[in-house]
A and B are shown apart, each in its own frame.
Chain A
């Protein structure tokens, strides 16, 4: 028997097509992601990575197959909004922040309508902005922040409601290399700090290498996977080598 924790994501024979079936985005996709894992989804354009991410975020529905996130059956979800609010954190390639709100308000907006008091919302938003090293820029609006800073605000917003699964679609796609490394470091740190499972869609081998495991997709199904040495082990190894 495996000693791996119960799966955070369980996809079995998932199908999804567009343009009345002409484009098969997912074609019998089957994969499992364990709770607490940091997984990269890689593959060529059009292989179904983003489509799978959208299904996991309940932004779209699979046509057939089984898709569960922490036990929630996404093919029969009653309240997708609540699921997104309580279970999922989303980070997009373009940060998708509201330009007229401050960084702090952009994080807080994800908590509107939750049971947290205004005071608790503010505390949580400040806590997360501090965690992504933006505590001093909380009152700045997105146009006043750099690309990397915006993406870190987006990361803080995605974690606002203590999601169990963080979904990131090309989160470093529009960043320079220094910012990429910063965001990757943060993802690793936040995984430990927030006890969150991370699924990152990426083309970038650097981003994929930061994950525990990389799943390669091709033509809508799993084509293979690489297991990366866990970051902590790599860190300790590199330290001991040094």
Chain B
């Protein structure tokens, strides 16, 4: 007989209780993992736009709730271009629009035709639009393939039908799922003459990106430089909110899980006074008794965690297929997500079983043996 076998056997010998506790933990872990996946996916989707421009960093309006709602101006763009160390800066105006049920959130990018190449755009078919051609548009290669778009086809977006004059590729899935319009007519449609959303900045060769970022932010208090997902998380208030909800839910799930485990283990403790007395009487140390109780709680919690991860996977796949979330939520399953499940399960087991385990170990063998 091994110690691990005994732990597993004890858990299995109380099947109903163990399974019910594991289900409760699975629900908590599912919530934590699903929220983690959603948060990560939302961040990856929202931050995808930053990766389109192949820039060293992106500039957005500081303290904006949604980075796509960032409101900048061409005057600010000119000032950024003048910052020492900035090699080039492309300004774009962004918006989103529903195309159809499968494409509820198509990103629209208003950009000057001369900025297409610096922005990392490569024409794969057709030609670029004219600077003031209000009826022309470009379609990203991914979206074009998805919609089976042909050159010359008309698509109803940005206030009316537009003719597809070219299909572009950026090498970025998010960018290749977008559409582009000439900047000036798009600003007019958005009723934002001279307005921009983001600047995509490239630095001089050899310049310190962090230093240039700092200079840009110093040039205007309303500008926030974003280089990576972490900085995006700090700049986007919606993302901050989602992250806060995610953390709060994790804490609540761990607390509830720990209470459930504590309840189960305490009930079990009362039933097993005599068993612990016997174990102590045959020479088991307090430490071994603690290890037994913690091990049983951990086994139940890990079982719950495994089920919770499976449920979270199913849940996020279902969420991703919901019409309102299609195209917005693209679940990504990283090692970190499964790490969260493990940490949650371990925390739940440890917090929930610590007190019962300590009580079991403190039982005087003689007193425990006298109990029925």
Contact = CB atoms under 8 A, between A and B. Distances in A.
B369 A85 contact: no
Given A59-B366, A86-B283, A90-B281, A109 B13 contact: no
Interface in A67-96: 81-86, 88, 90, 92, 96
Given A96-B274, A112-B1, A112-B6, A54 B366 contact: yes
Given A54-B366, A96-B369, A121-B1, A112 B284 contact: yes
A57 interface: yes
Given A84-B281, A92-B369, A105-B9, 6 more contacts: A59-B365, A86-B283, A88-B283, A96-B278, A110-B283, A112-B284
B237 interface: no
A88 B282 CA distance: 8
Interface string B353-372: 00000000000111001000
B282 A113 contact: no
Contact of A118 (B2, B10, B274, B369): B2
B279 interface: yes
A148 B277 CA distance: 22
Interface of B: 1-3, 6, 9-10, 13, 274-275, 277-286, 288, 364-366, 369
B269 to A, nearest CB: 15
B1 A118 contact: yes
Interface residues of A, number: 29
Most buried by A among B3, B279, B365: B365
Max chain B Cβ within 10 angstroms of own Cβ: one of A86, A97, A109: A109
B285 A81 contact: yes
B281 A59 contact: yes
Contacts of B9: 100-101, 105
Given A98-B275, A112-B1, A113-B288, A85 B282 contact: yes
A109 B10 CA distance: 13
B283 A85 contact: yes
Q: Which 6 A-B pairs have the closest CB atoms?
A: A85-B283, A100-B13, A84-B283, A108-B1, A110-B282, A59-B366
What DSSP secondary structure best describes chain B's contact surface?
helix
Contacts of A88: 283
A188 to B, nearest CB: 23
A161 interface: yes
Most buried by A among B9, B10, B274, B283: B283
Nearest to A59: B366
B369 to A, nearest CB: 7
A81 B364 CA distance: 12
B241 to A, nearest CB: 49
Contacts of B281: 57, 59, 84, 90, 96
A97 B274 CA distance: 10
Nearest to A86: B283
B365 A109 contact: no
Contacts of A81: 280, 283-286
B283 A109 contact: no
A98 B274 CA distance: 9
Q: Which of B2, B278, B286, B364 has the most CB of A within 10 A?
A: B278
A157 interface: yes
Nearest to B277: A96
A121 B285 CA distance: 18
Contacts of B364: 59
Interface string A127-147: 000000000000000000000
A161 B1 contact: no
A113 B285 contact: yes
Contacts of B280: 81
Interface in A114-128: 118, 121-122
A110 B284 CA distance: 8
A115 to B, nearest CB: 13
B279 A109 contact: yes
A161 B9 CA distance: 23
Contacts of B366: 54, 59-60
A139 B281 CA distance: 23
B187 to A, nearest CB: 75
A142 B365 CA distance: 21
A50 B265 CA distance: 32
Contacts of A101: 9
A100 B8 CA distance: 12
A154 B112 CA distance: 89
Contacts of B285: 81-82, 113
A83 B10 CA distance: 26
Given A98-B278, A100-B13, A113 B284 contact: yes
B179 to A, nearest CB: 66
Contacts of A92: 369
15 contacts: A57-B281, A59-B281, A82-B283, A84-B282, A85-B283, A92-B369, A96-B274, A97-B278, A98-B275, A100-B13, A110-B283, A112-B1, A112-B3, A112-B284, A113-B288
A57 B283 CA distance: 10
Interface string A147-162: 0000000000100010
